[in-house]
Structures are given as C-alpha cells and as structure tokens.
C-alpha cells in the first residue's frame, strides 16, 4: 500500500529535488541530447546546416569486413613471387577503391594474417576507433583483476590492530588523493627514455647491462606502462573498500574456524571470501567503470600515441568532439560507450546474483 505524503516525506523531497534537478540537467538531458546529435552531421563550427543522417555515424565507426587476397598467378597458373621469394598479392586499394566493391569503399586495413597461400585482411571504416575500442577492453581486462587482487592483499595485510598500522593505511591511500594529472606527470618523468627513474633503477640493478627503454614512446610498452601507473594510483581506494568489507565479518566466525583447526587458506576461502561477496561486486563494478572512463592518463602521458597504441574510447570522444570539432562523431562514441558499459553492468549483475 502506497504511503501518504506526510510532512516528513515532503521535507525529504524538498532536500532531494535540487539534487535530482542537477542530475537531470547535467547528466540525463545531455545524454539524450547526445543520442540526437549522433544521428546528425553536426559540427561545432560549420557554416553548413545540420542534416539528419540516421545511423550513418554508427556505420562509419563500426564498419568491419574481412577481405581475402589470393596470390597473383602467371599465365601458366603458377604463383608469382618477387626477387626475395615472397608471394605477390594484389593491392588492397584495388578493392577498397574499386566501383565493383562499393561496400568496401573508404575502408582501411586494420590487421592481417596468413591462411595458407591466401592473406586474410580485416578492414575497418575507422581503424583508429577500432584500436581505441580494443585498447579500452584490454585495459579493463588487465587492470580490473590485477588492481582488485592487489587491493585485497593490501586490505588483508592492514586489517590488524597493531601499532603503526594507520601509517601504512595512509601511505597506501595517499596516491588516491593526489590529482591524476599530477600523478600522470610524475610517472611520465619516471618512464622517460633518457633519464627516467625506472631506467636508472633497472640499469643500477643490472650493473649497466639493461638498455634504456622509451616506455611511453614504444607502441609495445606504452599501454602496459599506463596500466601499471593506473593500478598503482587507484589501488589504495579499492583497498579501503575491501577493508570496510573485512571489518563487517564477525570475529566469531574466525574463532570458530580456529577451533575447527582451519588453515589460513581454508579460513580465507570459507569465511573471509564469502563474507566479501557484496564488497567484491562493488569493487568489480567500480574498477570496470573507472577503466572504461580512462582519459586523463592518456591525455597527459601519451596523447593517444605512439601510432595510436594508447587510444581509448573516452579520449577519442573528446578528441573528435572538441579537437576535430566533430560533435556528431564524439556523441556517437559516447552513446556506444554507454551501451557497452550498460551491457557489461547487466552481465556482472547477472553473474553475481544470489543463487
């Protein structure tokens, strides 16, 4: 039965409504506005009138195809090879620029692999967006379990009433309260390829045998370097969440486990971990959301490079929307990101449901 609007309810709504109004004005309304912009060709500054393009922006971003290139053959039917003995293939542009294949027009090569004598090439309408999509998923898949596990280990270590434990809690949490821009600048100096602290330490440990690496200038190390910094920066925040969950577990359960002769691993498996179920769900969701929102580290440390190896969805949305003044493109990426995060959140909710 619905409760009546009492004086206390009226006072509560009076306090809540300003917050709801702000959320609706600055979050809900702009989101629906972004959905509308994603179906147009709107630019930030353009003399041309805005036109409705439907799902064309989504097709431009998500367009993918696989093209098979067969070896070139001579009149006798033999495979043509160059002077180095490599098999010769037709140029991809002969397909992507041909009127015979209008569905491939304007698409570019993303990656390829060999399948027997044939070459399989994945082409995309927007290769940079695809790289950003893969990098974002890779970042989340690596950072979420590693950061969550390290935070849990730290929480277990400091969940003891011993002298000086608050000092360690403060030290572990300190990077969280520092601005992410400041942390990113600090780690950019640490990763410097010439006089960076990391290279200096590794050279000292190997007595000069280690060759300096440009961690942020190498496509194979740039994204892992950003991952390592992100894990270090936010692990203290999730440690506090784990610690709050640990302190809700009744000490009598640990006493009962000790009386039964349970080992430390058995105690963790059958007492601690079941008691942290709801906390684990919260930590997983928070890390996932933070991972998909990756922007500041990329903007400060790599600016999406080198060779687009650290492009992410949020960075691409901001870069296109404001850097290239392509508001419709940035809005489209934002809507796609929202759909991805919503789908993952629903999957996480289903996987962690009560059974």
- Residue ranges per structural domain of the chain: 64-124, 128-351
Question: CB atoms < 10 A from the CB of 185, how many?
Answer: 13
pLDDT at 3 exceeding the cut of 70: no
pLDDT at 126: 94
pTM for the predicted model, two decimal places:
0.90
How far apart are the C-alpha atoms of 42 and 48, rounded to whole Å? 9
Confidence of residue 150 (pLDDT cuts 50, 70, 90): very high
pLDDT above 70 as % of the chain: 97
pLDDT at 238: 95
Confidence of residue 169 (pLDDT cuts 50, 70, 90): confident
pLDDT at 8: 61
For 143-204, the DSSP string reads HHHHHHHHHHHHHHHH-S--TTHHHHHHHHHHHHHS-HHHHHHHHHHHT-TTT-HHHHHHHH
Helix (H) or strand (E) holding 235: helix 222-246
Length of the chain, please?
A: 355
Question: CB atoms < 10 A from the CB of 241, how many?
Answer: 20
Per the CB < 8 A criterion, the answer to whether 136 and 313 are in contact is yes
Q: What is the DSSP letter of 103?
A: G
Q: Which CATH superfamily is domain 128-351 in?
A: MetI-like (1.10.3720.10)
How far apart are the C-alpha atoms of 150 and 288, rounded to whole Å? 15
pLDDT at 223 exceeding the cut of 80: yes
pLDDT at 1: 44
The three-state secondary structure class of 33 is helix
102 versus 4: which is more confidently predicted?
102
Mean pLDDT of the chain: 90
What are the structure tokens assigned to 141, written together?
Answer: 């898949």
């Amino acid at each position: 039965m619905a409760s009546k609007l009492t004086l206390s309810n009226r006072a509560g709504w009076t306090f809540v409504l300003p917050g709801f109004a702000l959320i609706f004005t600055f979050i809900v309304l702009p989101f629906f506005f972004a959905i509308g912009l994603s179906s147009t060709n709107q630019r930030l500054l353009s003399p041309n009138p805005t036109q409705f393009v439907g799902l064309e922006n989504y097709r431009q971003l998500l367009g993918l195809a696989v093209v098979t290139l067969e070896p070139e053959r001579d009149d006798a039917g033999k495979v043509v090879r160059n002077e180095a003995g490599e098999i010769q293939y037709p140029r991809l542009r002969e397909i992507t620029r041909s009127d015979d294949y209008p569905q491939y027009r304007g698409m570019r090569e993303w990656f390829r692999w060999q399948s027997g004598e044939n070459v399989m090439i994945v082409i995309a309408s927007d290769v940079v967006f695809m790289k950003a999509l893969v990098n974002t998923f890779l970042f989340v898949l690596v950072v979420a379990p590693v950061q969550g596990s390290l935070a849990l280990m730290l929480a277990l270590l400091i969940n003891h009433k011993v002298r000086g434990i608050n000092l360690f809690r403060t030290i572990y949490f300190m990077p969280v309260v520092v601005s992410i821009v400041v942390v990113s600048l600090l780690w950019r100096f640490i990763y410097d390829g010439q006089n960076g602290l990391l290279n200096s330490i590794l050279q000292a440990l190997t007595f000069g045998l280690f060759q300096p690496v440009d961690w942020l200038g190498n496509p194979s190390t740039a994204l892992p370097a950003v991952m390592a910094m992100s894990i270090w920066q936010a692990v203290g925040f999730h440690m506090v969440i784990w610690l709050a969950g640990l302190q809700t577990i009744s000490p009598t359960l640990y006493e009962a486990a000790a009386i039964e002769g349970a080992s430390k691993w058995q105690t963790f498996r059958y007492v601690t971990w079941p008691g942290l179920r709801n906390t684990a769900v919260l930590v997983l969701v928070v890390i996932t959301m933070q991972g998909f929102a990756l922007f500041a580290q990329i903007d400060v440390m790599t600016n999406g490079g080198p060779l687009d190896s650290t492009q992410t969805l949020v960075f691409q949305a901001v870069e296109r929307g404001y850097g290239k003044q392509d508001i419709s493109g940035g809005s489209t990426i934002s809507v796609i990101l929202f759909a991805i995060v919503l789908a993952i959140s629903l999957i996480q909710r289903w996987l962690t449901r009560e059974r």
